[in-house]
Chains A and B, each alone.
Chain A
Amino acid sequence: MSDIKYKDKGSILNPLKTLQFFARKPVTEPLGPRPATETYRGFHLNDWESCIGCGTCQKVCDNAAITMVHVPEAKEDPIKGIRPLRPAIDYGRCCWCALCVDVCPTAAISLSREYVHVCTEDQLDSYFMLPSADGMHGTPYPEGWTKTPTTDLVDLEREEMPELEPQSRSDNFDEIVAGYDAQHALLEASRCVQCGMCHDACPTHMDAPEYIRSIWEGRPEDAVRWMYQSNPFSHVCGRVCTHRCETACSIGHRGEPIAIRWLKRYAMDAVDHERVKQIAAEGRVQVPTGKRIAVIGSGPAGLTAAFDLVKKGHEVEVFERLEKAGGMPRFGIPEYRLPYDKLDQDIDVITSLGVKIHYQCEIGKDRSMSSLRDEFDAVVLAIGLQLGRSTRIPGSEHIQVKAAVDLLRMITLREPFDIPKSAVVIGGGNVAMDIARSLARLQKQTYGEVQITLTALEPRDQFLADPVEVKEALEEGVTILDSRGPQACRIDDQGRLNGLCTWRVLSIFDEQHRFAPQYDSSDEQFHEGEMVVEAIGQMADVSLLGEDLTEALEWNRGRLKVDEAGRTSEPWLWSAGDCVNGPDVVHAVADGHRVAASIDACLATQDLHEV
């Protein structure tokens, strides 16, 4: 019951009590806007330096109040994941909920403490505002609602990927990365904000946002369908891609990027191989065009071109020098990174469409270029980079000084060679890591211990190799020395190789950014090794072209000159892949697509031999 005496009859003097209110402080505020609180949600601010134009704010906006506007003066860099787009806010829609702030991957958007805006009908355009640091009316107001770790709705941490421990992987070639299961893949895919930076950065423009969304929706088949739109080497790229997509990922600006590569791998592994074949065959032209195309080399570039062309209804024959198809992914990448059966699956999908591969058929020896030219409507040269570059230091012509590519190929083909008890690897790229780690495994299998020294020109923080590779190599017992320049291979009196002498590197490039390493000769080290492996780069073996053709073609600093579509100066000959672009799997795939599209377009209109 009530705790006041409401039956109080009052008094005639009661009104006089009200006089006390004259003594109280008035509650009325002075005219004019009061300053807002520290987390106030007023008009928007945008830091143009950190805004990357990803458009995530636009997606989360529940009122469709955000329009992305192209600002020509803003920075554009697809490789780093920066677009010249900026959000413009429609205050005829906005509700100041600040979800855009909480979800912004780079913490660029915030709300200010400014809240007054009045205009007439003629001035209504002012309701559509392009936020910058200046606020609504050009007067900077302090920030109000900003992103803090508590308000952040972006998941910055990647789902953990199960991997083999160093002790259980260092003596075998088993695949290290286990891959996501469905649950983890779904969780990892759900981190994606669908900005599409990955698509822009990918050389072959894979539809990563779409396939990630399909994975999140639990439909890996659709994901595979999206992948085959742009990449018939999805098993390979799901494992060993250089993942430029992840470099560009907008989540990566403040946290760990989405594991796009592993998600691709998950989707490919989750779908039955026979089903993948059916999906890959979708959209194939059923009526043969009657045109025939020869592809030299069965690496990613060559087979991608073959895949595209065969789907367009052309007849494609591939000529491979070795006994197996796959090119560099098979003969250059160790099995612990890319199991051969996965590569076989990718190739099986392509051959199942009717691509014919002639194995152990070396052009220039078994067949000549001119016979291909006469027999086929077009020829694609996708021979890759098969020759290892040499350092040409004293002693490098010794038999125990090997090229990394040759050695890797021998390991793949299981060709026997004497496994050195100790070895020195020259180079700091991924190939150097591959050969060092492969040799380390063989040593562990044969002798039970690892004795590999890897010397690289670059300081550790500038290594060309993937940081994960470096970390794993160290875990497997490889000694990695940075800033060491090879000077000579030491050979003893009996003609046996003893090891490598190196000097410390002072600088690698000169002022014009040309390669001109400077050494400190006083800091000399000797690295013991029965074998020295050079892994400093590769080049193409173009001897198959024959003298006449080599004469006829145009060249550019030792490389074949091609136009944007990959066509050489000979109208019937295209070139694609590493031999044009330098080593990179996904680039080779992109190149294959480009060349195939160009050939298809040209064949549709003209006979190339009559041009």
Chain B
Amino acid sequence: MTERELDTHLVTILRELESLEYRQTSPRRVRIDVTREALPGLLELLKGRASYVHLSAISCVDWIEDNEFELVYHLWSYESNHLVSAHTRIPRETARYISVYDLYKPAAFFERDIFEMFGVYFEGSPHMEKFILTEWDGPPPMRKDFDAEAYVQETFNWQSYHPDWLKELEEEGGGVAIRPEEVRR
């Protein structure tokens, strides 16, 4: 199989399926956009017939303006040495999807991670419980509508330094002019 061209076997499989678009973004990267209904079937085909046995990661992106979560499944084939990224979108309100743990064991970790950080529930995933944020009561922190900085300012205190040199400057009429938080955008 040539590495530079998109693996013809993969192309054949992708052509079989409807409701997806694919595009080669670089010599070893393929992007597939697929509807949420068709994604599990696609993964099954990719694993079963096109040697994409390694689930490198599942990434989640919060597109708050579109009111959607984007799930990206990164799959690697040890035979054709290509990385396929399958993108799909799910509605933000329901935030539920189907687990792919049956196909890919590593999915359990990533699905749990997304569950904790974004609050997306994966049906059929073995560990839909907290792992990292066991002692966190707030909203899923990676959601765009959670303002971490505001939470921090509200919860924690900062040092109130007042060293001698600053006291001297204040006596001379100087002192703190611009605090760091004033220049943050």
Interface residues of A (CB under 8 A from B): 55, 58-59, 61, 64-73, 84-85, 88, 90, 92, 124-130
Contact = CB atoms under 8 A, between A and B. Distances in A.
Contacts of A69: 166, 169, 174-177
A69 B180 CA distance: 11
A41 to B, nearest CB: 20
Given A58-B183, A72-B169, A125 B178 contact: no
Nearest to A65: B180
A185 B166 CA distance: 42
Contacts of A126: 163
Chain B: number of interface residues, binned into ranges = 20 to 34
Contact of A59 (B164, B165, B173, B183): B183
B159 interface: yes
Contacts of A88: 166, 176
B71 to A, nearest CB: 30
B181 interface: yes
The 7 A-B pairs at the shortest CB distance, nearest first, are namely A128-B161, A64-B180, A125-B163, A68-B178, A70-B174, A70-B177, A72-B174
B181 to A, nearest CB: 6
B4 interface: no
A67 B180 contact: yes
Contact of B161 (A61, A66, A125): A125
B178 A85 contact: yes
B184 A64 contact: yes
Given A66-B180, A128-B166, A90 B161 contact: yes
A130 B166 CA distance: 9
Contact of B172 (A67, A73, A127, A129): A73
Contacts of A58: 178, 180, 183
B150 to A, nearest CB: 15
The binding surface of chain A is classed by DSSP as mixed
Contacts of A67: 176, 178-180
Given A69-B169, A72-B172, A72-B173, A64 B161 contact: no
Nearest to B158: A92
A126 B173 CA distance: 21
Contact of B164 (A68, A85, A90, A125): A125
Most buried by A among B165, B166, B173, B178: B178
A127 B159 CA distance: 10
Contacts of A129: 163
Nearest to B185: A59
A181 B112 CA distance: 50
A130 B165 CA distance: 8
Contacts of A125: 161-164
A70 B159 contact: no
A55 B176 CA distance: 13
A70 B170 CA distance: 9
A65 B159 CA distance: 12
A304 B181 CA distance: 36
A128 B176 contact: no
14 contacts: A58-B180, A58-B183, A64-B184, A68-B176, A69-B166, A69-B169, A69-B174, A69-B176, A69-B177, A70-B173, A70-B177, A71-B174, A72-B169, A125-B161
Given A64-B180, A66-B180, A125-B161, 9 more contacts: A65-B180, A68-B177, A70-B173, A70-B176, A70-B177, A73-B172, A125-B162, A127-B159, A130-B165
Contacts of B177: 68-70, 85
Contacts of B175: 69-70
Contacts of A55: 178, 183
Contacts of A92: 159
Contacts of A72: 169, 172-174
A197 to B, nearest CB: 14
Contacts of A130: 165-166
A69 B172 CA distance: 12
A125 B164 CA distance: 8
A61 B180 contact: yes
Interface in B127-185: 159, 161-166, 169, 172-181, 183-184
A64 B174 CA distance: 21
A66 B159 CA distance: 14
Contacts of A128: 159, 161, 163, 166
Contacts of B165: 130
A90 B159 contact: yes
